[in-house]
């Protein structure tokens, strides 16, 4: 299974595993390209983000009601900021590795990557001082160092391997083979009632969707993969039967990151559940129905200040 920063060998082995797994059962009516009729067709109303439907905060959907109907501003907290810090560091690491290889051409070397890594660390630490101030400085620092070190060392070895494969490489192919991910890949989900500006954490060509999750595993995150798969299918008419959830768990006292990749089969049951949730949330918004306060509010919910009076 791939690590935090997948390389081409991980992807090849994943696709080999997929061919040995039983096929995923997906009905035609639950493919994203069936948006013109049947269950996937959007019922109308605002275009929702995948994270509105699968945020995993509120089992009653009150967070979505408060956001779209009552226009209540969400409030940030430590866990949300830490999650964004990990996401941003991961994405910027991948982008900067690619930029460094493009800048130095086929002469790119491990030393140049190391220089780029140091510059990126300083830049992100300065940026995150203000942006993620709810995360203690010491934790911000080790997280940034840890993620950048892992990304640059993984792709430095990958670069060396790719360079030694052939004398006839061109720069674009070299970058794609060294870092086989496209981060923040944009999708237009309008045809299935989702936002026109969806972004998946990464697309691994030819058609594997990767989502990075920094909270405890939950079904909603599997549903998020389905949402993106439906949007992808509606836009490109290519089937997406499996996705990759990359769970990242942080242990601050031990300064450890635990990475647990999980392959998710995007079959009929998950697809139906996603569509039902979409429709239920749209109903709350269209008919101005307050679903009431959950009995199970997670402390990291960004609306807890509103629903629970400042808890």
User: Which residues in this chain contact ligand SF4 in the complex, by CB under 6 A?
Assistant: 57-58, 60, 62-63, 293-294, 297, 301, 303-304, 307-308
d(CA 38, CA 220): 23
Could you tell me the smallest distance in angstroms from the CB atom of residue 282 to ligand SF4?
A: 17
* Residue 243 parent element (H or E): strand 242-251
Could you tell me the smallest distance in angstroms from the CB atom of residue 306 to ligand SF4?
A: 7
Tokens matching residue 123: 């830049």
Instruction: Find the farthest-apart pair of alpha carbons in the chain and give their distance in angstroms, rounded.
Output: 65
What CA dihedral angle connects 9, 15, 16 and 18, to 10 degrees? 150
- Closer residue to ligand SF4 (CB): 196 or 216: 216
Grouping H, G, I as helix, E, B as strand and the rest as coil, residue 266 is coil
- Closer residue to ligand SF4 (CB): 58 or 194: 58
Could you tell me the smallest distance in angstroms from the CB atom of residue 77 to ligand SF4?
A: 12
Could you tell me the smallest distance in angstroms from the CB atom of residue 294 to ligand SF4?
A: 4
Could you tell me the smallest distance in angstroms from the CB atom of residue 296 to ligand SF4?
A: 7
Could you tell me the smallest distance in angstroms from the CB atom of residue 292 to ligand SF4?
A: 8
Grouping H, G, I as helix, E, B as strand and the rest as coil, residue 111 is helix
Beta strands in 141-195 (DSSP E): 182-187
Grouping H, G, I as helix, E, B as strand and the rest as coil, residue 169 is coil
- Closer residue to ligand SF4 (CB): 152 or 303: 303
d(CA 260, CA 249): 8
First to last CA, the chain: 40
- Residue 24's contacts (CB-CB under 8 Å, 6 or more residues apart) are 241, 242, 265, 266, 267
- Closer residue to ligand SF4 (CB): 232 or 303: 303
- Closer residue to ligand SF4 (CB): 56 or 180: 56
Residue whose C-alpha is closest to residue 142's, from 128, 156, 131? 128
- Closer residue to ligand SF4 (CB): 58 or 200: 58
Report the 10 Å Cβ neighbour count for 11: 18
Could you tell me the smallest distance in angstroms from the CB atom of residue 67 to ligand SF4?
A: 9
Report the 10 Å Cβ neighbour count for 293: 14
- Closer residue to ligand SF4 (CB): 46 or 291: 291
């Amino acid at each position: 299974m791939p690590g935090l920063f997948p390389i081409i060998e991980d992807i090849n082995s994943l696709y080999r595993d997929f061919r040995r797994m039983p096929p995923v059962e997906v009905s035609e009516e639950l493919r994203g390209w069936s948006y013109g009729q049947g269950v996937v067709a959007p019922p109308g109303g605002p275009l929702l983000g995948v994270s509105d439907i699968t945020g995993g905060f509120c089992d009653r959907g009150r967070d979505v009601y408060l956001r779209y109907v009552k226009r209540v501003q969400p409030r940030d907290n430590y866990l949300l900021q830490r999650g964004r810090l990990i996401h941003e560091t991961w994405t910027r690491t991948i982008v900067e590795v690619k930029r460094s290889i493009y800048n130095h051409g086929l002469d790119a070397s491990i030393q140049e990557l190391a220089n780029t890594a140091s510059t990126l660390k300083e830049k992100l630490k300065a940026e995150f001082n203000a942006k993620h101030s709810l995360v203690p400085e010491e934790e911000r620092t080790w997280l940034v160092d840890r993620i950048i070190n892992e990304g640059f060392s993984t792709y430095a070895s990958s670069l060396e391997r790719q360079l030694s494969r052939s004398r006839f490489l061109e720069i674009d192919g070299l970058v794609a083979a060294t870092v086989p991910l496209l981060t923040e890949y944009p999708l237009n989900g309008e045809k299935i009632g989702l936002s026109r500006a969806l972004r998946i954490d990464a697309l691994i060509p030819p058609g594997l969707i990767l989502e990075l999750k920094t909270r405890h595993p939950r079904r909603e995150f599997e549903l998020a993969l389905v949402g993106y798969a439906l949007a992808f299918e509606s836009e490109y008419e290519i089937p997406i039967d499996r996705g990759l959830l990359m769970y990242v768990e942080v242990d601050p006292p031990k300064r450890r990151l635990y990475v647990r990749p999980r392959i998710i089969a995007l079959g009929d049951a998950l697809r139906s559940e996603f569509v039902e949730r979409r429709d239920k949330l749209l109903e709350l918004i269209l008919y101005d129905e307050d679903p009431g306060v959950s009995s199970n509010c997670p402390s990291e919910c960004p609306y807890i200040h509103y629903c629970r009076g400042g808890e």
